Chains A and B, each alone.
Chain A
């Protein structure tokens, strides 16, 4: 269990900068999810903490120790890989025992630790099997077991659930969360799946193009997105954006150029009375809710979320759209969120 802090960390391959000036402090026992689209540098960041990638500039501190020039094995970390990376020729027991054997623990201690971990992960009956005789979910568990037996300061998970089917993924998500609480471990978890990030994280780090866009608890990030990228990336379906040049909306902060509204906050209103008018394009009926896709005259697309009990307007009809003032998020033309303080007093 330990704190991790990154200060002005930078990674570049030649002239290509992958991660630029990243600073982040992770508390003891925190579950941090690093989320972002593919190619945003999130995996690279994790691998830099693990010691599998060199650090171009800045410092990485794990448990009050600068680890920049330490080998992975000296950093007191354990990693779970996307494809599990189990040793195919070793039994589950040997897979879990390998790092302990290298560390020079005696056999009794190794057996004891593996027994405890196997019980925790319900792997007792698989210890003598080889990885290929296990299902995806079981392999996943073994990969976690291999990390847990080492009792490291920090756990690093690199998209560990993306090879599992949807149902198993939801189940394993809960298990990871419970496990992390039980162990009180510091855990860094990389994913591209924003739902996974929302459900797992104590705090999430939203990354884009090698830059941290926002750090915060899932609800903080959801209710208070700092940039248009975060607003569009977190939440499904994504936030609707209305270009203020095309719509006459008051009151509006001084430098605002975009207004964002979440699909669940968008409401129907009579034509011409709302923020904009649009035509109903099609419905996505998901059972508990219906997503209404709309298109405005100038080509902007909006999604509105309706409880299924509500009857939506007919296809191809034109409707007005509006949202309460407190649900309007304003952004400047750099994509930065404008706080309500910037707004002029309403007349």
Chain B
């Protein structure tokens, strides 16, 4: 890349050593978890702790995926996937529609509604968790996907993001579409949505990880183990009594829990980069 200062000699080495040190510090716990998921419980608890992979990879992962502790991990992962996708798609759809309304339509109390949405920024799930629980319980949505997803769907942040994006779209483009005969619905689907594509992709990644990592809310409303999500499920795997802790299986579960978010990031990476290049409107 032009314009960048190229470091030479010691500077270059120092930079690389620094970066490597950072990576090692971040990756070491992950490495330990990965190693722990490939050995037996007995090997793990006898010091020194093994630092090289053992031969029980398949065995541990099969145990985690298909039997788990109380619920098989594949079931919890499926629950997490439904919840994360539900939150992501719900949030993006609702934000797109509300930003569209706020930017392009004049209706009574428009700015009032805008500020109302703005206010919800100050009320994250954790703050309103008791009343939300009350409402969800009252609607008999405990232990259901709707109960997991719906309270987390409204998003002021995403609405703002789309509002800012829509405001950068030149008025002439809107007028050209009007002259071409596109009504509001057509304009939304034919012009606005394709132009928001890269922003939607970026939000998808962020919101998917947000949804996947939800801990407190699923913990509260899923009392039936069949509805447990993976992130809270890991915690549930730690027995409270005197039972032995099956660390290799738990570590295998932890590694499995990381796979989908990583996959989403890697899968959407190209759209990110494309979005940066294609910024011209």
Contacts and interface: CB of A to CB of B under 8 A. Distances in A.
Interface of A: 50-52, 71-73, 77-79, 81-83, 85-90, 98-99, 102-103, 132, 146
A81 B180 CA distance: 13
A72 B178 contact: yes
A328 to B, nearest CB: 45
Contact of B176 (A51, A85, A103): A85
Interface in B156-181: 170, 172-173, 175-181
29 contacts: A71-B178, A72-B178, A72-B179, A73-B178, A73-B180, A73-B181, A73-B182, A77-B179, A79-B176, A79-B179, A83-B170, A85-B172, A85-B175, A85-B176, A86-B176, A87-B176, A87-B191, A88-B195, A88-B280, A89-B195, A89-B197, A98-B180, A98-B190, A99-B179, A99-B180, A102-B180, A102-B182, A102-B186, A103-B181
Given A88-B280, A103-B181, A81 B176 contact: yes
Contacts of B175: 50, 52, 72, 79, 81, 85
A78 B191 CA distance: 18
Contacts of A77: 179
Chain B interface, DSSP helix/strand/loop, else mixed:
helix
A103 B181 CA distance: 7
Contacts of B8: none
B280 A73 contact: no
A139 B147 CA distance: 51
Contacts of A83: 170, 172
A32 to B, nearest CB: 19
A4 to B, nearest CB: 16
A52 B182 CA distance: 13
Task: Give the top 7 A-B pairs by smallest Cβ distance, nearest first.
Answer: A73-B181, A99-B180, A85-B172, A85-B176, A89-B194, A102-B181, A81-B172
Contacts of B180: 73, 98-99, 102, 146
A52 B281 CA distance: 22
Which interface residue of B177, B179, B181, B190 has the most chain A CB atoms within 10 A? B179
Given A72-B175, A89-B195, 20 more contacts: A51-B179, A52-B178, A52-B179, A72-B178, A72-B179, A72-B181, A73-B180, A77-B179, A79-B175, A79-B179, A81-B175, A83-B170, A85-B170, A87-B173, A88-B195, A89-B194, A89-B197, A99-B179, A146-B176, A146-B180
Contact of B172 (A82, A99, A102, A103): A82
Nearest to A103: B181
A88 B280 CA distance: 8
Contact of B179 (A50, A82, A88, A103): A50
Given A102-B181, A102-B182, A85 B173 contact: yes
